[in-house]
Amino acid sequence: MPNLATADLVTSVVSGNYADGTTWDNTLAPVTGNDYVIVTNVEQNGDATTSLEGDSITVDSGWLRLTAVDASPDTFVVPSLTLNGGRLDIRSHNQYAREVDLPNAVAVGADSQFRIGDGGEQFNMDVTLTAGLTGSGNLSFVSNSGNGTDDIATLHLPAATSTFTGNWSVNSIDSGYGRLSAEAANALGTGTVSLGTRSILVAAAADALNSTPAITLDTDTSELILTNAWVNASGVLTMTDGTLDLADSVSSIDRMYIGANAVPTGTYTATDLTNLGFGGTFLGATGTIQVAGLPNPSLIAETSYSFTSFGYTSGYSVSISNGAGDGTTPLNISGITVTGSDAGDVSNVINPGSVAAGTSEDITFDFTPSSGGGFYDFALEVASDDGLGTSPMVINVQVEVFDPLIAIGSGTQDFGYLANSPGPQTATVTIYNDGGSVDLEVDDVFSEIVGDPDFFISSFPGPIAPGGSGELEITFDPGALSGFFSGTLYIESNDYEGTIPTVNLSAVVLPAGDAASIDFGTAASPVESGFTQFIAAEGATRTIAGVTVQLASSANDIIAASGASATDLMTDGAATTFNGTGGNYISVIMSGFNTGTLDLLGAFNYPSGYGLPINIEFGEVGGTLSSVQGGVNRPAYVNYSTSVEAGKTYELRVIESGNANLAYISGLVLSGDSVPGGTPYGDFVSPLDPLTDGAPELDPDGDGVPIGIEWVVGGSADDSASPDTDKLPTGGLVNADPDGDLTSSDYLLFTYRRTTAAGTDANTTIEVNYGTDLSGWTTAADGVDGIVIFDTQNGFGAGVDQVDVYIPVSLAVDGRLFAYLDVQVAP
């Protein structure tokens, strides 16, 4: 068996220290006589001068990291180092400034990376490749050091006449800069240089860049500093953006581009370049750069384009320019040839016959994808009389086709407020195919609803043609359950991007039997159907369905809020004052329960651009409150069930959980066998007693309108500040044809308001009586004696109908005809 210690080739098998045997497949520490190949992450610490054992080191993948520990400068002697697709890292052990020297030449065999720092190194790091580079692979120099933009990682190249033929790119992935310093004649070799984010290239010695054929500044933080001149008869400088510092040098190149503009032949100072108005930043008091001139004519174009398509025929264009150096010679286009794997999908190619000097023209074409979504590749070969002889110029085009594409009509589906045991309720979600050639197919296996099981998908659409739509049906069937229900619909399909649209589902089912359904808010805001209005204020009290409810707050600052959202129950509410401090809460104090179960449904919303979460607690007044739900964000519903006892008073506490001092509640439904119940009229007059001080014929607020009339017309039973006289019936003579028999007649039109609550209450009788004197009265009935009665639902707003009673003037006696509203309430 051969001795593994003298084997020629040793490969890393785990990430670890270079000097540890466990890192290598021969399990031995590196020694002279072996060649080492790194395919993992390998590190070596060094102090002063550190030598890595072995005849050669090749980094195929992963990285070799050399860490300077204490001394500075530090020297790492690395024998025959080759970067063959991996990475060489130089870093500081203690995050401070470092000087590191690599005295041996580094070969670049394949595209590789040289990185200084591993994140956050402070101050500056300077790494010197004393013997320079060899090889033909491209090298990416990356700065990963610095905790500010004044920190710079510099790669020094002091070796002259480099044989390196690969291209350079410079970039920073930390907050500092990466600087490539060419410190001898032709130090960078013969490759191009691309400067990216926070990157600097310095010509730090005479003739340092003369062998460099092209330099590109890609970002506004790219910088080229020509401390020494760049002289290259075929050199090309391209500035997408960034800074060019001419210093005191006299540079000369062939061509220069700023943005998409070719710089005309001439010699330029920093001021001259600025005055061109093409963009970029130019420095240097005395330096100049000579642009020798573009060929005549000169075809300039991007060599690659990427487009998107949605599956149908679309038109696209690419731009070509003529940068003729003399500013006059036109560029003649002799033809366009489409080549490549998807050339057959390209049609109607139109090109300009010629392009005037200094101008641009478009080549246009249509693209029709032949096989649905994916990437399509082809090339436009432009034949011309370009002075450089680059004909045809190849412009590569890639089109990504997004087809099919799913879209939905709405991301929410609210089934609204439903009576108990509503039976199955259905709604549809409209699904669109925005693609152009492939049917959209909704997956009936993986599409699902997550949340309350009372929501389920009841039917799926078939294949949806391009540009078409289909309906997915959702059914909500809560049975006899009540409360707030929610779920999320996830729609899986063959959408090209894998998009899974979601639809938020919600429903509120009101409880059966007696319930105190309360809509907190302002006097002017709408009231949700089936709910009792509760005008919010500090200390406000009402008795609803036998439960007495009072509002209070810890800071004595409850107000009626409005404008939260479009739905009635969520539009308004009770809220504490928003004042930027913490700890405030609303207490909803409740009493009058029977011993039994209390089911509570709370609705919470508030008009604000902030999250404003709340915590909710419940318990007996004076006792320990239990958490119902924490971190509730508006708009939200909360269900809660608990046991209560007769004779006790309970508190629902809504606590702000941030620092806004804001708590809020929009609506409340109290149900269960603990709710004793009440009449609609009794709820209306609370906290008055419908049998005593709240009797229908009384007028406790002194506005001249009895409570019974206020109950019907939508007034207030005990609000002296807001008289209800503006809600009383109106009357007058009209000439009309109310029954549509095309016979116009004179009528006494008697119009009154009727709330839904009063109109549907079995204990309330509402009639219009008429007569010719004040002693005998007849009840108006539609169709009797020519009388016509119209009911307009919500004619006076939500929950208030408009009733128009047309009484023929022919019923008058001696010119007398009277009418009045008669209301009878059996409390």
Q: What is the pLDDT of residue 658?
A: 72
AA letter at 288 = T
Boundary-marking domain end, from 338, 367, 401: 401
Task: Answer whether residue 104 is part of any domain.
Answer: yes
Q: What is the pLDDT of residue 3?
A: 35
CATH code where residue 774 lies: 2.60.40
Is the predicted pLDDT of residue 118 greater than 90, yes or no? Answer: no
pLDDT tens track for 472-529: 999 999 999 999 999 999 999 999 999 999 999 999 998 887 788 999 999 888 888 7
Boundary-marking domain end, from 169, 187, 212: 212
Q: Does residue 128 sit in the same domain as residue 183?
A: yes
Q: Does residue 84 sit in the same domain as residue 165?
A: yes
d(CA 201, CA 222): 9
Count of alpha carbons within 13 Å of 374, Cβ hemisphere only?
A: 8
| Cα angle, residue 575 at apex, residues 571 and 581 outer, rounded to 5° | 135
Two structure tokens written together for 285: 């008091």
Q: How many CB atoms lie within 10 A of CB 741?
A: 9
Lowest mean pLDDT among 83-92, 155-164, 196-205, 581-590: 581-590
pLDDT tens track for 542-573: 888 899 999 999 989 999 999 888 788 899 99
- DSSP assignment of 344-360 equals GGEEEEE--SEE-TT-E
Boundary-marking domain end, from 195, 212, 229: 212
Per the structure, the count of domains in the chain is: 5
d(CA 75, CA 44): 12
365/799: higher pLDDT: 365
Average pLDDT over residues 526-547: 89
Confidence tier at 4 by pLDDT (50, 70, 90): very low
Confidence tier at 5 by pLDDT (50, 70, 90): very low
Task: Answer whether residue 27 is part of any domain.
Answer: no
Q: How many CB atoms lie within 10 A of CB 301?
A: 19
Task: Answer whether residue 733 is part of any domain.
Answer: yes
Lowest mean pLDDT among 113-117, 561-565, 631-635, 686-690: 686-690
Q: Does residue 397 sit in the same domain as residue 413?
A: no
Is the predicted pLDDT of residue 705 greater than 70, yes or no? Answer: yes
pLDDT tens track for 611-638: 789 999 999 999 999 999 999 998 999 9
Q: Does residue 529 sit in the same domain as residue 672?
A: yes
Lowest mean pLDDT among 99-103, 502-506, 615-619, 679-683: 679-683
Distances (CA, A) of 622 to 322, 618, 619, 650, 687: 87, 11, 9, 9, 24
Task: Answer whether residue 478 is part of any domain.
Answer: yes
pLDDT tens track for 641-657: 999 999 999 999 999 88
Q: Does residue 556 sit in the same domain as residue 570?
A: yes
Task: Answer whether residue 28 is part of any domain.
Answer: no
Task: Answer whether residue 229 is part of any domain.
Answer: no
Average pLDDT over residues 235-262: 92
Q: Does residue 556 sit in the same domain as residue 438?
A: no
Which residues make Cβ contacts (< 8 Å) with residue 816, sequence separation at least 6?
Answer: 772, 773
d(CA 563, CA 538): 20
Contact 93, 121 (CB under 8 A): no
Task: Answer whether residue 358 is part of any domain.
Answer: yes
Q: Does residue 339 sit in the same domain as residue 428?
A: no
Q: Does residue 437 sit in the same domain as residue 572?
A: no
Task: Answer whether residue 337 is part of any domain.
Answer: yes
pLDDT tens track for 217-243: 999 999 999 999 999 988 999 999 999
Number of H helices, E strands in the chain: 5, 69
Is the predicted pLDDT of residue 18 greater than 90, yes or no? Answer: yes
d(CA 71, CA 49): 9
- DSSP assignment of 460-510 equals ----B-TT-EEEEEEEE--TT--EEEEEEEE--B--TT----EEEEEEEEP
Count of alpha carbons within 13 Å of 326, Cβ hemisphere only?
A: 8
Average pLDDT over residues 297-323: 92
Q: Does residue 200 sit in the same domain as residue 306?
A: no
Over pLDDT 90: what percentage of the chain?
75
Confidence tier at 581 by pLDDT (50, 70, 90): low
CATH code where residue 523 lies: 2.60.120.430
Q: What is the pLDDT of residue 1?
A: 27
Lowest mean pLDDT among 3-12, 337-346, 388-397, 794-803: 3-12
Q: How many CB atoms lie within 10 A of CB 266?
A: 13
Contact 112, 81 (CB under 8 A): no
* Average pLDDT score, the chain: 92
pLDDT tens track for 341-396: 999 999 999 999 999 998 999 999 999 999 999 999 999 999 999 887 778 999 99
Is the predicted pLDDT of residue 822 greater than 90, yes or no? Answer: yes
Q: Does residue 527 sit in the same domain as residue 480?
A: no
Q: Does residue 87 sit in the same domain as residue 194?
A: yes
Is the predicted pLDDT of residue 176 greater than 70, yes or no? Answer: yes
pLDDT tens track for 29-61: 999 999 999 999 999 999 889 999 999 999 999
Q: What is the pLDDT of residue 420?
A: 87
> Which residue range is the domain that position 537 belongs to?
515-678
Two structure tokens written together for 115: 């990185």
Instruction: Please tell me whether residue 735 adopts helix, strand or coil conformation.
Output: strand
Distances (CA, A) of 204 to 245, 284, 782: 13, 15, 104
Confidence tier at 294 by pLDDT (50, 70, 90): low
d(CA 387, CA 299): 8
Q: What is the pLDDT of residue 580?
A: 62
Average pLDDT over residues 778-800: 93
Instruction: Please tell me whether residue 240 adopts helix, strand or coil conformation.
Output: coil
Is the predicted pLDDT of residue 315 greater than 90, yes or no? Answer: yes
CATH code where residue 355 lies: 2.60.40.10
- Per the listing, tokens 């013969």 go with 190
Q: Does residue 393 sit in the same domain as residue 410?
A: no
